[in-house]
């Protein structure tokens, strides 16, 4: 039986755990060759093994997304091997310290924006040509509700997600009439991740949904003919 993403090449960032790992596994289960990135090779290897043991195919690409040269090298490698990219999932992000706006640490704020915003722009720039070479290039970016609805003490992280949403939406508008590339924003909502555990240390993890629920929602979205600018809030 032909799988939904047979012959497709997907790249998922922040894929060593949580939503990224779950999304990589879900895409691979539907036939995509998934390139998984994160900083830690050991954690990526565990995800790769899980994908392989389930009958899927993955390629690990350990890298630091704050190093633009590393992203460029990965894009070159993808070009040489596949000549296209069908699916790009921008998941990697850091939370930073939750603090009042006047108390935000400048150095940490800069690091947060480097990963959550600047690195995402570099990823889009580096893989733009490859997405355009796909007959149905899709870019999905993970956001947070605080990007659209500001919350006390979440100013730094929320600002970075608002900036990411603007970048992705602008890119989508720029390419929608020139290519088959379409972009979407996914708000995963309350999900059992290390980032959420850091933000809500007293929360019972059993009261929030598994990352696989978000991954399944992303896969379902990617099977539809959504229009650029589509926004999905995952329930649960």
- Name the H helices within 114-208: 119-133, 155-175, 194-199
Catalytic site residue 157?
yes
Mean pLDDT in residue range 45-72: 96
Query: What pLDDT was estimated at residue 105?
Result: 98
- Please give the tally of structural domains in the chain: 1
Do 89 and 23 meet the contact criterion of CB atoms below 8 Å apart?
yes
- What is the per-residue pLDDT across 153-162, written as a single tens digit (0 to 9) for each? 999 999 999 9
3 is a domain residue: no
Query: What pLDDT was estimated at residue 81?
Result: 97
2 is a domain residue: no
4 is a domain residue: no
Domain that holds residue 59: 9-233
Catalytic-labelled residue, pool 5, 113, 127, 157: 157
pLDDT of 57 above 80: yes
Mean pLDDT in residue range 207-211: 96
pLDDT of 1 above 90: no
Query: What pLDDT was estimated at residue 236?
Result: 83
- Name the H helices within the chain: 18-29, 41-53, 68-81, 106-113, 119-133, 155-175, 194-199, 211-222
pLDDT of 125 above 90: yes
Phi, psi of 204 (to 5 degrees): -75, 115
Query: What pLDDT was estimated at residue 165?
Result: 98
- What is the per-residue pLDDT across 63-118, written as a single tens digit (0 to 9) for each? 999 999 999 999 999 999 999 999 999 999 999 999 999 999 999 999 999 999 99
**If we measure between CA atoms, which residue out of 156, 120, 153 comes closest to residue 11?**
120
118 is a domain residue: yes
1 is a domain residue: no
23 is a domain residue: yes
98 is a domain residue: yes
What's the mean pLDDT when you consider all of the chain? 97
Do 181 and 139 meet the contact criterion of CB atoms below 8 Å apart?
yes
Full-model pTM: 0.97
119 is a domain residue: yes
CATH number at residue 115: 3.40.50.720
pLDDT of 19 above 90: yes
């Amino acid at each position: 039986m032909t799988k939904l993403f047979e012959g497709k090449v997907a790249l998922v960032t922040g894929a060593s755990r949580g939503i990224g790992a779950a999304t990589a596994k879900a895409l691979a289960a539907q036939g995509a060759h998934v390139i998984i990135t994160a900083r830690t090779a050991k954690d990526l290897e565990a995800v790769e093994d899980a994908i392989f043991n389930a009958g899927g195919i993955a390629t690990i690409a350990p890298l630091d997304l704050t190093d633009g040269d590393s992203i460029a090298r990965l894009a070159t490698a993808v070009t040489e091997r596949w000549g296209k990219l069908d699916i790009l999932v921008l998941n990697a992000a850091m939370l930073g310290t939750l603090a009042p706006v006047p108390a935000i640490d400048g150095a940490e704020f800069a690091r947060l924006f480097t990963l959550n915003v600047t690195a995402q722009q570099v990823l889009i720039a580096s893989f733009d040509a490859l997405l355009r070479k796909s007959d149905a290039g899709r870019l999905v970016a993970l956001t947070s509700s605080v990007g659209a609805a500001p919350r006390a003490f979440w100013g730094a992280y929320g600002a970075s997600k608002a900036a990411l949403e603007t970048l992705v939406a602008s890119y989508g508008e720029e390419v929608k009439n020139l290519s088959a590339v379409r972009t979407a924003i996914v708000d995963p909502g309350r999900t059992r991740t290390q980032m959420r555990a850091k933000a809500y240390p007293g929360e019972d993890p059993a009261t929030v949904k598994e990352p696989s629920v978000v991954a399944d929602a992303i896969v379902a979205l990617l099977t539809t003919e959504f229009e650029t600018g589509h926004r999905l809030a995952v329930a649960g």
